[in-house]
Structure 1
Amino acid sequence: MTAVEPRTATDEPEAGTTTGRIRGRHEGGLAVFRGIPFAEPPVGPDRFMAPRPARTWDGVREAFAFGPPPPQEIPVPETFAFGPPPPHESHGSGDAAPTDDRTDGDWLTVNVWTPGVDPAAARPVIVWIYGGAYKVGSSDEPYYDAHRIAGDGDVVTVTFNHRVGIEGFAQIDGAPANRGVLDQIAALEWVRDNIAAFGGDPAQVTVVGESAGAGAVACLLTAPAARGLFHRAIVQSLPGTFFSPELAEDVTAAIAAEMGLRPTVADLSGVAPRVLPAAGAAVSRALRSHQDRWGAVALTPTPFSPVVDGDVLPVTPWRALADGAARDVDLIVGHTRDEYRLFVATSELVGQIDDARAAEALRVFGPGPDPERAYREAFPDASPERLFELVQSDWLMRMPSLHLAEAQVRGGGRAHMYEVTWSAPGNGGALGACHGLDVLLLFGVYDTDLGRLFLGPDGVPEAERLSAHVRRAWTDFAATGDPGWPAYDTEQRLTRLLDTEPRTSAYPEEASRRLWRDHVFAPLPLVRDRDR
């Protein structure tokens, strides 16, 4: 049992949890609690293991500061597929979390923004899961400040940390697969058991995630252990990368070998959690040298993805939903129009894509027996750079998102589709409706590096009306299951276009839809000699 300072008289908000009482702060009309443990620190003998419930404490624990971010690589622009771009800014609103030896393992923490600590209020609950290529990310980023979601929508909003990179997603001998997903399930169990104390309704929980966070939501829709922990879901820019166990094992073995280690708990536990992410160089070397075995994965910036292991994830999300696994879960799913443009711009590829490089991308990432020819015929006026961007937008996020909506409909469930078509005015408008823009629109936090990148010096007024529209749609959906536009079906294909003047029309990416119509998003395989 952890000792905490005795309770003292205070006008700061307090709440009781299953592990003890906590004290937060009043901020901007909300009660805010940060850094609440939902699981034991995954260090020592718990390293690389499934999360264990947090210990109880005596007295009242201060919940003023975010928990420390999980161990991760230091992000650089070209590595930010599946999440908003860098840099990591310090701990946002709230105090910086201490990082001494006593607390640095406390990565598995939740944060709560609530309009009022009233157990009788029974407000809808939104749980946000961050993105970051399954290898970076934390809930303390300033652009994940949930004040506007909770305040504008009168909902209780939760964010949390989960393990990423080698700690969370590497396939390690002696450890369970998908530890990051197991952390997410543990956080949702905490919400189920505790959110009523913060004025939330555990029977009205909506999980929301973007990019790798959208992949997390898709995992939760699939995982048997997550059934009943949430009731609605919003999937923003779903990555199509789910690994087979063979591929995941090979990737981890290669990364470990670059460090002179075996891919075992014993070997990797000998490297401190905060030191292991320095293996980023080893990861890069492994990616560059394994295209013959890893296929398209070797041409991405990340070797981590959820693993279809037959246990945590019995099948892929697309198959699970088509089989009816989530037919009782209301779903919003969508993407931005120009997903991959962010990565072209932040990796300094603008103006550098020639016809040969475009042809390689079309062959590697496109569907069907002759994807290069198919794309060139479908987009006859597209430049090499545009083709390079289009096929990776489609492979990575646009078509996985569309196919998830269609799988949900086939499985007897309901899905609402959207596409962000509003072009970010920042960077001279060069980013278009790029990846991550919907994060900015949802949270409405503009005075961050992310906001300045997307909006430039004068773009806030232009963004604000659409931002309010997105927040209202998401919070209305959390409360009622209706975001304000019709459900998607495979005949009319009605889709909400999120622009200066939002409107509903047929799904706008018809050429890409037709190209990918017969594609199956299966677990990515390990490429063997006989498969070439």
Structure 2
Amino acid sequence: MTTTEFSPPTGGACEGPAPVVRTTAGAVRGRNEEGIAVFRGIPFAAPPVGEARFMAPRPAPAWDGIRDAHAFGPPPPQDLGLMGGPGLIDVPQGDDWLTVNVWTPDADPAARRPVMVWIYGGAYKLGHSGSPGYDARRIAADGDLVVVSLNYRVGMEGFAHIEGAPANRGLLDQVAALEWVRDNIEAFGGDPGQVTVFGESAGAGSIASLLAMPRAAGLFRRAIAQSVPGTFFSDALARDIGTALAAEMGLRPTVADLSTVEPRRLTSAGESLGPKMPQHIDRWGQAAPTVTPFSPVVDGEVLPTTPWQALANGAARDVDLLVGHNRDEYRLFIAMAGQLGQIPEDKATSALRLFAPGPDGEQAYRTAFPDASPSELYERVQTDWLFNMPSLHLAEAQRAGGGRAHVYELTWPAPGNGGALGACHGLDIPLLFGTFGADLALLLFAGAEPSAEAEALSSRFRASWTAFARTGDPGWPAYDTAERLVQLMDAEPVVTAYPGEASRRLWEGYDFRPLPLL
């Protein structure tokens, strides 16, 4: 376990007396930063190592004295391939992975402000709440509410199918963090009865999972899911991929075998298998081209069924839902592969045959988009399959189950690369947090200062999200299947009928089931 230092308050960047809050495990000392009290790296569970490795999270050990909460906790072991290699996460290393961070305008228990809990994305194989792009001070300040972010296990530690270990350990970590919020957030000025979870990509997939998980019931009142991925594994598929992951290290997929490998070395199993996944398309089907060997597993226990089925059955009818996507989601991945506008006809055909719904899906797409080039068809079908239709169908499932949902689509194009990236995956993160010079935003905004238009849209994102967290109303009508009204997030906001009608019709009635083992 990492060593905790207990020291007196320090000056420097702090403004005024350092805030001290007592949690159920002990007292923590934060910092005052630009009018916001910030607490970083507070353990919500014990380090999941030794006998606790690959197990459900356990309570954090208590401490005496006052613990400095000045630095983000260490990131969980992860595949950093998409981030350009190690070293980009400049935080201490250690095994206290399961920590939370709090931004609050006033750590006064009487304040009882709404609470927003951020769950990061990263293909279920990477991510860290301390990433600069997730600095939540502008959300807390603009919305006058409390923001919490959390770490959860990813990759092999959090999502690989391992014999003798519970499935979906990363999701169980999120539940434990939400239980910490329930038990502690009042001391930070938050209202435990008014909690909103929000997240993007794998974070949105996690939130969709939490909506379907009995263990998470009652831990949040509202949910914001940004770009929900449709990839959920069946138990059989997860077992087969888990076996392949362990085999990359010459091991069996058991707790006994995998526990012999140091956590940060075990990430190499996913790093080496991912690029090989397309070779297994005959067994892993639609999961194979994603090169992501981790997803939530519909195991029948931790996650009893898919989010779409659970919501349609009324599992979250009492939770307010805000869900949406970006118009050009998949373009980011094409650009990162250096293939923008360079997709040949045969590759587009393969994608259409694999991902388009129904036995005549390829022809249906070609008919619906008669003027589309091979590159445009390739992008369109994967945008629809992976993010846009899962997001829209989540809203429709919520409504079918007796709940309420609001829907948005981001249509404002990223200014980087001459605007060629469009409204691509991940663009909503810097717009929401206002962190234009960090992480993926360096690509999307080309390192330039944000324009007045970008700042205005950024403020609109925060105003809508925080209004929803406070009232359940982001400022536009709820979605229904008659008018299908959605908010277009652009330089000029517009409420209109869902703009992707051609795609919506192609996917009408489609059942997002767990991906099978073929």
- Which range, TM-score by smaller chain? over 0.9
Residue type of the alignment partner of 1:123: R
Q: Is the 8 A contact 2:6 2:68 kept in 1?
A: no
Structure 2 CA distance for partners of 1:452 and 1:217, relative to 1, 3 Å:
same
Matched, 1:18 2:24: yes
Determine the C-alpha separation between the residues in 2 that align with 1:500 and 1:86.
32
CA distance in structure 2 between the partners assigned to 1:9 and 1:301 by the alignment? 46
1:267 to 257, 261, 264: 257
Q: Distance in 2 between matches of 1:5 and 1:354?
A: 57
Tell me, yes or no, if structure 1 residue 98 matches structure 2 residue 92: yes
Indicate the residue corresponding to 1:58 in structure 2.
64
Distance 2:47 2:142 in 1: 34
* Cα distance between partner residues in 1 of 2:495 and 2:85: 35
**C-alpha spacing 1:90/1:284, structure 2 compared with 1 (3 Å):** closer
- 8 A contact 1:342–1:434 mirrored in 2: yes
| Shift in Å, 1:5 | 6.0
Contact 1:4 1:58 in 2 (8 A): no
Aligned to 1:46: 52
In the alignment, is residue 492 of structure 1 matched against residue 483 of structure 2? yes
Amino acid at match of 1:526: L
Instruction: Assess if the C-alpha contact under 8 Å between 1:255 and 1:286 holds in 2.
Output: no
Show CA shifts across 1:134-186 (max 9, x none). Answer: 00101011000001000111010000100000100001000000000000000
**Structure 2 counterpart of 1:71:** 77
Give, in whole Å, the separation in 2 of the partners of 1:238 and 1:282: 26
Tell me the residue number matched to 2:14: none
In 1, the alpha carbon distance for the partners of 2:371 and 2:96 equals 53
- What's 1:231 paired with? 221
Q: Secondary structure at the match of 1:157?
A: strand
Q: CA deviation at 1:288?
A: 3.3
- The residue that corresponds to 2:496 in the other structure is 505
2:285 to 274, 295, 313: 295
Cross-structure match for 1:137: 127
Displacement of 1:451: 2.2
Assess if the C-alpha contact under 8 Å between 2:132 and 2:439 holds in 1: no
- Asked if 2 retains the 8 angstrom alpha-carbon contact of 1:294 and 1:525, the reply is yes
The correspondence of residues 25-424 of structure 1 with structure 2, limited to 5 A, is: 25-76=31-82, 90=88, 97-99=91-93, 104-284=94-274, 286-424=276-414
| Aligned mates of 2:346, 2:329 — CA distance in 1 | 22
Q: How does 1:440-479 map to 2 (within 5 A)?
A: 440-456=430-446, 457-479=448-470
Question: Is 2:229–2:387's contact at 8 Å kept on the other side of the alignment?
Answer: yes
Q: CA deviation at 1:352?
A: 2.5
The number of aligned residues is: 511
Deviation, 1:294, is 0.2
Q: In structure 2, what residue type is equivalent to 1:124? A: P
Shift of 1:526: 0.4
CA distance in 1, matches of 2:392, 2:193: 28
**CA distance in 2 between partners of 1:90 and 1:28 (Å):** 25
User: Which letter maps to 2:497?
Assistant: A
Gaps of 5+ in 1: 77-84, 528-532
Q: Which amino acid in 2 is paired with 1:463?
A: A
Q: What letter matches 1:33 in structure 2? A: F
One-letter code aligned to 2:340: V
Matched, 1:481 2:481: no
CA apart distance, 1:286 = 4.3
State the Cα deviation string for residues 276-316 of structure 1 (Å, max 9, x = none): 11224431354133111000111112011000111111110
Residue 81 of structure 2 contacts residue 271 of structure 2 at CA under 8 Å; is this kept in 1?
Answer: no
Contact 1:4 1:57 in 2 (8 A): no
Superposition RMSD in Å: 1.6
Conservation of the 8 A alpha-carbon contact between 1:5 and 1:60 = no
CA distance in 1, matches of 2:271, 2:201: 23
Amino acid at match of 2:228: L
For structure 2, the residue ranges without an aligned partner over 5 or more in a row are 11-16
1:301/1:522 Cα in 2 relative to 1: closer, same or farther (>3 Å)?
A: same
Q: Deviations over 1:78-111 (max 9, x none)?
A: xxxxxxx6677755xxxx5432xxxx11000000
1:166 maps to a residue whose letter is M
1:394-443, Cα deviation, whole Å (9 max, x unpaired): 00000000000000000000000000000111111110000001111110
Is this contact kept in 2: 1:89–1:141, CA < 8 A? Answer: no
Secondary structure at the aligned position of 1:290 is classed as helix
Rounded Cα–Cα distance in structure 1 between residues aligned with 2:236 and 2:276: 16
Match of 1:80 in 2: none
Name the CA shift for 1:281/1:109 in 2 (closer, same or farther; >3 Å).
Answer: closer
In 2, Cα distance between equivalents of 1:225 and 1:64:
31
- Equivalent pair of 2:157/2:169 in contact (CA under 8 Å): yes
Secondary structure, aligned partner of 1:274 = helix
Question: Partner amino acid for 1:291?
Answer: I
Does the 8 Å contact 2:270/2:293 carry over to 1?
Answer: no
Cα distance in structure 2, aligned partners of 1:14 and 1:213? 30
Conserved 8 A contact 2:74-2:96: yes
**Deviation for aligned residue 1:446:** 1.1
**Does the 8 Å contact 1:42/1:51 carry over to 2?**
yes
Q: State the distance in 1 between where 2:152 and 2:331 align.
A: 28
Q: Distance in 1 between matches of 2:46 and 2:270?
A: 26
Separation in structure 1 between the aligned mates of residue 208 and residue 306 of structure 2, nearest angstrom: 9
Contact 2:245 2:270 in 1 (8 A): no
Q: Distance in 2 between matches of 1:41 and 1:53?
A: 9
Q: Give the Cα separation in 2 of the matches to 1:165 and 1:36.
A: 22
SS at match of 1:304: coil
- Give the CA deviation at 1:334: 0.3
Rate the CA distance shift 1:281–1:151 in 2: closer, same or farther, 3 A.
closer
C-alpha change, 1:453 and 1:343, in structure 2 (3 Å) is same
